[in-house]
Amino acid sequence: MSYSPNWPFERGSIVIPAVEERRWQAVLTRDSTQDGEFVYGVASTRVYCRPSCASRRPTRARVSFFETPKAAESAGYRACRRCEPQIDPPTTVRQVQQAREFLDQHPDETVTLARLGRMVRMSPFHLQRTFKRVVGVSPKAYASARRLDRMKLRLRNGDTVTRATYEAGYGSGSRAYDQARTGLGMTPGSYRKGGRGMTIGYTVVTTPVGYLLAATTERGLCAVQLGDEAAELEAALRNEYPEADLERKEGGLSISIERAVERILDGGEVALQLDVPGTTFQWQVWDALRRIPPGETRSYHDIAKELGRPTAARAVARACASNRLALVIPCHRAVRESGEVGGYRWGAQRKRNILELERVHRDSRSEVTVPAS
């Protein structure tokens, strides 16, 4: 098949002329309903804009269309400072919020992207892409997480497993069990019973940043908590798993944890088997945290951009806040855009102290000792 030299192309994909014509009309009319559906680049300025941009309209011959800001930037264009096309428009953010509220209100229904898109007046493709960028996960993953949260709440309030499963919106018990093993680290029945039937070994050691409690199941490390009092840490563990068989272990476990903490604060890596529940997005964030060099920090926004979701800074912050493994998953290296340390479930001052210790160790390793002459 041959193509005319005037046949329009986009980077990596063919664009049907009728589609280009509709997009050009959207640019001419500054149609805000098309914001987020595509961007256009102007060859003479090497700038790309959203369809509704109020800047002077370019000539058609100088315009190219792109599916995403990233595609435009890959082609050598930079974002317009006036319309900021790389940032989701307020209207789009409101539509995503409406989609979230709709999913929250229909927990027992399988809501398709097509149905959700019609409800918020977005194409399924644009909704999927924008929802993931704003919230941090896809609509399907969001609905699954909310369903699990509802089941956890009902189990805590004393519902039977069967009642909690169906009231949370699961269509079958098998689906609930499959998700619970990933999201809870145990079956719904074990969670309802406060960990009954589980054996958790733990130890408490002293560190330069306070007391540290480390707990393990047969599958790996399930908790690393920091605090000012050993008794408070033990009480918190018992509150989390009131029916589990908790065994305080000294000797080997204490020694291995102390060595691991020392190595972490000294900038080294440790190989520990982990047994903590988390969504796909949370694990993406936690893996990104572990790639940050000791003593250095990244903003929540920087981490979101690294994951390809520049508007998901709040979701990144929530993933940091849900971390159960202090130091092992170094959420203390995530800070606010301003450079302020921000929140830390084990205390902002402790977060500062950990970062300072890491920097001291890092700087001491980088010093070059010159032998005396």
> H helices within 29-77, ranges in order?
69-74
CA distance 317 to 332: 11
What angle, 0 to 180 degrees and rounded to 10, lies between the N-to-C axes of helices 90-105 and 139-156? 40
Buried/exposed code over 330-367 (b: 16+ C-beta within 10 A; e: otherwise): bbbbbbeeeeebbebebeeebbeebbebbeebeeeeee
Provide the residue ranges of all domains of the chain, joining segments of one domain with +.
9-79, 88-192, 199-265, 281-361
Q: Give catalytic status of residue 83 as yes or no.
A: no
- Tens-place pLDDT, residues 55-99: 888 999 999 999 889 899 999 999 998 888 887 666 777 788 888
Domain 281-361 has CATH 3.40.50.150: no
Percent of the chain with pLDDT over 70: 76
What's the Cα-to-Cα distance from 149 to each of 91, 167, 237, 316, rounded to whole Å? 28, 12, 20, 18
Catalytic residue among 53, 83, 222, 331: 331
Query: Taking the domain 9-79, which CATH number applies?
Result: 3.40.10.10
Q: Parallel, antiparallel, or unpaired: how do β-strands 47-49 and 78-79 relate?
A: parallel
Confidence of residue 24 (pLDDT cuts 50, 70, 90): very high
Mean pLDDT computed over every residue of the chain: 78
Single pTM value for the model: 0.52
Interatomic CA distance for residues 165 and 51, integer angstroms: 46
The pLDDT of residue 162: 53
Domains 9-79 and 199-265 share a fold: no
Active site residue 49: yes
pLDDT at 11 > cutoff 80: no
* Nearest residue to 230 (alpha-carbon basis) of 248, 243, 218: 248
User: Strand, coil or helix: what is 296?
Assistant: coil
Tell me if the domain spanning 199-265 has CATH number 3.30.160.70: yes
* Residue of 49, 53, 222, 320 with catalytic role: 49
pLDDT of residue 176: 45
Q: What is the pLDDT of residue 89?
A: 66
Considering the four listed CATH numbers 3.30.1340.10, 1.10.10.60, 1.50.10.20, 1.25.60.10, the one that applies to the domain covering 88-192 is 1.10.10.60
Candidates 280, 276, 285; CA nearest to 324 is 276
Work out the average pLDDT over 255-279.
Answer: 77
Mean pLDDT, residues 14-21 taken together:
67
